[in-house]
Amino acid sequence: MPAPAGLATLVLLVLLAVAAPAAAQMEPCVGIKESGFKILLDDIFEAAGGKASPLMSSLLYRVSTNLEQLQVESGLPLKVVRCAKRRPSDPSAFNRPLVEQLNARQVILEVWGTTAEATDAAGAPIHEAIVGYALVPVRFDELTLGQPSGAFLLSRQAKSVTSLDELVRLVDQSGELAAYVAVSTGVRLLRSKEYDQARAQLCRSEGLLARVAGAAPSTRDKALIGYVQRLASDVVSQAKADPAYTGVLKALPISTGGCR
């Protein structure tokens, strides 16, 4: 069964950080040395100086159940590693030395979150939940090639918090987590020349990203989908050119075009 033992305990530890707001910091993560593909779950915390946000509990609930759903449904041997007191200041914290280190440790995704009270463009008070994602293998490419964005923040805002349904919907990350894990895993597998699995994950991620992006994809969504499509095509080309590979991608007339 995919759900790992200890996930509950890992996520429980997230709350220990909530009670004590602190400045962003990048503490080393102890569990990172475990073998296998890993998702690092950093602190979910109140933004420095802010008061307790009513979004915090909803965000904790959804991140924990979204991660459990991912592990149950993805079919991938993923480990969730809790990184206590680790608080990236922003996506730029994922610089080359850090990304190389994470990459070497088979980290495919790092997730963190903050909540805060803010104001909208008109100056009206709003509640904001921000989830940070670092797609480590994608970020690795970004630092080399300049695109696509592999570390970014997703903001969710609510003007009022009268409806619990709305809060839970607002901070739901199940689609994003599934899509980003598939992208990162696919990129990682391609680098290790595991073509069949890489193609499967990249093709899967293409569909998941399209679903998350919806009818009006953002510039970042479009860039990420384009990147995935190029890599899915590259898998086929590289497999055909690799003398050591003898599988389906070489033996059969698999198009280098789309996945569908």
Partner 1 sequence: MISQAASSAAVRPLSRATAFAFLALVVCCASLAEAGVQNVPCRRPFIFPDAAVNVVVLPYESAPGLSTVGGMGVRLSGLLQLEVLRSIAKFGSVGAVQMVGTPAECDPEVVAAKLLGQAPGAATTLRKGHGLVVVWGRFYLEGGDVFVQAFCRLLRSGIDETFDLVAGGQPFSGQLSSQAFACAPRKVTVEDIRNFEQQFARSTIVRSAPEDGATGVPMVPEPLPYWISDTRGDWMKIDSQGGVRGWIRLSGARDAWSLARWLPELAYVEGMVGYLRFRVATQQASSARPAWVEAAGRALVEYERGFQSQPSSPGGAVPPLPWRTALAGAVQMQLRGVLSAMKPDATTDDRVNAMTLFERAAAMLPHDANARNLVAMMQLSLTLGSGYPGLSPKQAAADLLQALGADPGNPRLLANLQSAYQALLSQPVTTTPILTEDERRVFSEQLAAINRIR
DSSP line for 56-116: HHHHHHHHHHHHHHHHHHS-S--EEEE-TT-B-SSGGG--HHHHHHHHHTTEEEEEEEEEE
Tell me the pairing of strands 79-82 and 38-46: parallel
Q: Which is nearer to partner 1, 59 or 99 (CB)?
A: 59
Answer yes or no whether residue 93 interacts with partner 1 by CB under 8 A: no
- In the chain, the amino acid numbered 33 is K
CB of 83 to partner 1, least distance (A): 15
> Which residue in 174, 221, 234, 238 binds partner 1 (CB under 8 A)?
174
CB of 223 to partner 1, least distance (A): 19
What number of chain residues touch partner 1 (CB under 8 A)? 58
Answer yes or no whether residue 238 interacts with partner 1 by CB under 8 A: no
Determine the 3-state secondary structure of 46 from DSSP. strand
Q: Which is nearer to partner 1, 140 or 180 (CB)?
A: 180
With CB under 8 A as the contact rule, which of the stretches 9-17, 125-133, 134-142, 220-228 interacts with partner 1? 9-17
Q: Which is nearer to partner 1, 48 or 164 (CB)?
A: 164
Task: Return the residue matching tokens 């509990």.
Answer: 57
Answer yes or no whether residue 78 interacts with partner 1 by CB under 8 A: no
Answer yes or no whether residue 77 interacts with partner 1 by CB under 8 A: no
Number of residues written out for the chain: 260
Answer yes or no whether residue 52 interacts with partner 1 by CB under 8 A: no
Answer yes or no whether residue 206 interacts with partner 1 by CB under 8 A: yes
Cis bond leading into 253, ω under 30°? no
With CB under 8 A as the contact rule, which of the stretches 13-21, 88-96, 113-121, 126-134 interacts with partner 1? 13-21
Answer yes or no whether residue 199 interacts with partner 1 by CB under 8 A: yes
| Contact map string, positions 207 to 226, toward partner 1, x by CB under 8 A | xx------------------
Residues in Cβ contact with 233 at an 8 Å cutoff, skipping those fewer than 6 apart: 256, 257
- In the chain, the amino acid numbered 80 is V
DSSP line for 99-118: HHHHHHTTEEEEEEEEEEEE
Q: Which is nearer to partner 1, 219 or 255 (CB)?
A: 255
Query: What residues numbered 105-164 form the site for partner 1, per CB under 8 A?
Result: 158, 164
The beta strands (E) that lie in 122-257 are given as: 125-135, 151-158
| 39 contacts 79 by C-beta, under 8 angstroms | yes
Residues in Cβ contact with 41 at an 8 Å cutoff, skipping those fewer than 6 apart: 10, 11, 14, 63, 67, 80, 81, 82, 83, 111, 112
Q: Which is nearer to partner 1, 144 or 255 (CB)?
A: 255
DSSP label of 51: P
Judged by the rule CB under 8 A, the positions of this chain that interact with partner 1 are 1-15, 57-58, 60-61, 64-65, 68-69, 72-73, 75, 158, 164-170, 172, 174, 195-197, 199-200, 203-204, 206-208, 236, 246-249, 251-255, 259-260
